[in-house]
Homo-oligomer: A and B are copies of this chain.
Amino acid sequence: MRRFVYSFQEGVGRDRAILGGKGFGLAEMTGLGLPVPPGFTITTAACRAYLESGKLPAGLKDEVSTNLQALEEATGRRFGDPVNPLLVSVRSGAPISMPGMMDTVLNLGLNDETVKGLAHQTGNETFALNSYRRLLSMFGDTVAGIHRSRFEDHLERVKAAAGLKDDTELDADAWREVVAAYEAVLDAEGQRVPQDPHDQLWEAISAVFRSWNSDRAVKYRAEIGIPEDLGTAVNVQAMVFGNRGVNSGTGVAFTRDPATGTRALYGEYLLNAQGEDVVAGIRTPQPIRRLQEDMPSIFGEFSQIAERLENHFRDVQDIEFTIEEGRLFILQTRTGQRAAGAAVKVAVDMVEEGLISPEEAVRRVSPEQVEQLLHRQIDPTAELEVLATGLNASPGAAVGSVTFDPTEAEEAASAGEAVILVRLETTPDDIHGIVAAQGVLTGRGGRTSHAAIVTRGMGKPCVAGCEALRIDYGARTFSVGDRVVRQGDLLTIDGTTGRVFLGEAPLVEPEMTEEFRSLLKMADAVRRLGVRANADTPEDAARARELGAEGIGLCRTEHMFMQADRLPIMQAMILATSREERLQALNQLLPHQRDDFVAILKEMEGLPVTIRLLDPPLHEFLPRFEELLVEVTELRHERGEEQKLRAKEALLERVAALREINPMLGLRGCRLGLLYPEINEMQVRAILEAASELGKQGYEVFPEIMIPLVGHPNELLRVKEDLERVAQDVMEEQGAEVSYAFGTMIEVPRGALVADEIAQEAEFFSFGTNDLTQTTYGFSRDDAEGKFLVRYLEDGYILEENPFEVLDEKGVGELMRIAVERGRATRPDLKIGICGEHGGEPRSIGLCHRLGLDYVSCSPFRIPVARLAAAHAALEEIDET
């Protein structure tokens, strides 16, 4: 027959899936010989059987009965005994921690009779009555569904009538009045706590079972992705009391500081109180180090136990304890949650302490935590009052004065003021305000709202869907409850957690701690994927190298042409009406380009630098058509401006000729170089001249020349045959030998499909997944994100993820798979990377690893995230094999 109950002793070494998290911890602690009040665990299997059939499974009652007897023997008390009653607690405990389920009922076993026995047994009637009312309210709340405040109102009333502040000051009569009032609350709802302790026990156990399917629990599981069929275990345990006088108490402590990771007990305790009193805040708890003064021997014992538990579980423990008349009991232990910085420190420290392996340390820190560390954060040690909480839509913290209007935000920002833009929701019309603000706070919309998507794209903090906000644009105020916040008031938002604070919270700039560096080194030892940076300037290159980049995966050359001293020459080049004119302009650009490349290649000495030839449509370098059109129309209405008009008309005509209906799919990428080979030739000349110059100075440099937007092997062939000649010419002129390579971006579907042919010509591939996502989906990112993508992502209406943030595995990923397979079939040593924005996103990095890429390339500031995510991908692969 199946077994449904294990005493804590019997549970030692058994599975968390059977015992639940709490039961598992209790069993392990019992096995270690720690002072755990005795008890037993009803398994998750019993819960499943109950939920399936709607009744308690056969045999369960007997097993519980047997275990209850053992408990009576162990404690020397009897359940329901009017003289020496055994009291027990019933606690839920799922295999994965899960808010939303029924939690705890204490003091089961008390009734009108046994409460007297308890008074007698403890010699403390107020304690006994206090315990009884706790049972009534907890049972009422968790089993009968009557909110606990409805009970507590009566306690407050009685205390107020007696002019008392602290529960401990109430006398027995007052407690009797409270008990009576609690019973009346139950009665008014047609409920009662059974007088038979066994009935109490079974009602509590069944309620825990049923709470697995409460609305909140089901919703939570759906959100987090916990399987529906796990079920919860139930723990029945002999009561111990922290509220039996000043020699008793209760507390919670972490084995290390969860905010900083420092190795020292961290927590608080309250004498003469039970756990729920700490939560209710009846008195201010004391920091745990004070226990050393209050009860030195208990503190010593607890410290030793804490260390044993950490060593046993090899992780930070979050421990609940109770002191009953000078005796220490441990009620729970579990893995301690910790802040991102603490997670890094703890992981690295534990490696040094020999507790865990470097691989385990890497596993213990998520890429998302690392990402937090790379944004400004609110000082984790600061004590702050939360004004409201919304959705953590874009990470990082920001401080600024409240502004409601995007245009005013822009004006304030240009006057040097830091502002937080507060809107009910944002639309594409607000974009200038978003650009200007330090951060954005919205009253409506989720993680995929316009504000969320746009701010994440900009790397700017955002708290979205903060529903407590009441915004009055007319009055330029918002309120939360009765707090009114006016335009200009200082506000702090934390996009990492979704919290909003009034005033200026202390922020911490992101910082690479020693431990952070150590952890990333451990990650480096594990990962297979290389990590490079997308960097267009020497400054970015230096930053990237500092953060661990192993090369540049994408150096865009177009930004170089946008600089003020170069743009006029670039425009002259574009507007040239003959090849000669164009060549003249290009010759002026050449020394600038060469200087750019000298500086960047130097920063990346010894590492590869992938330089992409000119990619964007040429009209991006020219004045905007619409503005010119307005100017020309206006000039036509003015007199005496004929000459200016003619010039503008000519420019308008040229700009109009270069206009495209779908520039994303137009004359750009390698198509530019095929129509105007002299642009490419200038760029390759600049690269090779720079490399030659550095080579002569003794630098080892490795330029990789990347030809964008290739969909047909001939595109690459034609461009390359031209540029190979230029490269040979320069090397001959310079008398230098440069180690360079030609490769291509795979960023249109056809490039992936004919990768076998393209690999004939390409020494490397780099996936341009921004464009590849656009063409695979047929989405223009510029148009989609502001328009239909918001709807698509709403509650997963069409998509679960924005494919421009997280690589689309089934579509874009499938093309990548095809490209890798076919490319390597032609050229087994083909170097393959990714330089789209996905290269810095953890799940996408996981996919790149599984697809067998050689490296990812991302923004410099995401390099640490990528290093860790790459390591996680490698560890997951190990786990799966």
Residues of chain A at the chain B interface (Cβ within 8 Å):
428, 626, 629-630, 633-634, 637, 657, 660-667, 669, 671, 674-675, 709, 711-712, 714-715, 718, 747-750, 753-754, 757, 771, 774-780, 782-784, 787-788, 791-792, 797-799, 808, 810-812, 814-815
Contact = CB atoms under 8 A, between A and B. Distances in A.
A780 B657 CA distance: 16
B674 A810 contact: no
Contacts of A774: 665
The residue in A657, A662, A771, A810 that gathers the most chain B C-beta atoms within 10 A of its C-beta is A662
A780 B617 CA distance: 13
Contacts of A797: 674, 714, 718
A661 B664 contact: yes
Contacts of A757: 810
Contacts of A661: 663-664, 780, 782-783
Contacts of A753: 776, 810-811, 814-815
Contact of A787 (B667, B714, B779): B667
A771 B665 CA distance: 12
B634 A780 contact: no
Given A633-B633, A665-B662, A712-B799, A776 B791 contact: no
A663 B660 CA distance: 11
Given A775-B775, A783-B662, A674 B748 contact: no
A472 B317 CA distance: 93
Contacts of A674: 788, 791-792, 797-798
A577 to B, nearest CB: 14
Nearest to A719: B798
Contacts of A814: 753-754
Contacts of A664: 661-662, 665, 778, 780
The residue in A634, A671, A814 that gathers the most chain B C-beta atoms within 10 A of its C-beta is A671
B784 A666 contact: yes
Nearest to A638: B637
Contacts of A667: 783, 787-788
Copies in the complex: 2
A778 B750 contact: yes
Contacts of A787: 666-667, 675
The residue in A754, A757, A776, A799 that gathers the most chain B C-beta atoms within 10 A of its C-beta is A776
A718 B797 CA distance: 8
A613 to B, nearest CB: 16
- The majority secondary structure among interface residues of chain A is helix
Contacts of A626: 626, 629
A674 B675 CA distance: 40
A430 to B, nearest CB: 13
A747 B778 contact: yes
A380 to B, nearest CB: 40
Contact of A798 (B634, B715, B749, B754): B715
A712 B798 CA distance: 8
A825 to B, nearest CB: 15
A143 B718 CA distance: 41
Contact of A799 (B637, B669, B714, B777): B714
A784 to B, nearest CB: 7
Contact of A811 (B630, B749, B779, B782): B749
B799 A775 contact: no
A711 B633 CA distance: 43
Contacts of A629: 626, 629-630, 633
A754 B669 CA distance: 28
Contacts of A666: 780, 783-784, 787
A776 B777 contact: no
B810 A754 contact: yes
B783 A778 contact: no
B749 A775 contact: yes
A748 B771 contact: no
A441 to B, nearest CB: 25
Contacts of A810: 750, 753-754, 757
A428 to B, nearest CB: 8
B798 A714 contact: yes
A458 to B, nearest CB: 18
A727 to B, nearest CB: 21
Nearest to A808: B750
Contacts of A748: 776-778
Given A661-B780, A662-B782, 15 more contacts: A630-B633, A660-B780, A661-B663, A662-B783, A665-B774, A669-B778, A675-B791, A711-B811, A718-B798, A748-B776, A749-B749, A750-B810, A754-B814, A775-B776, A775-B778
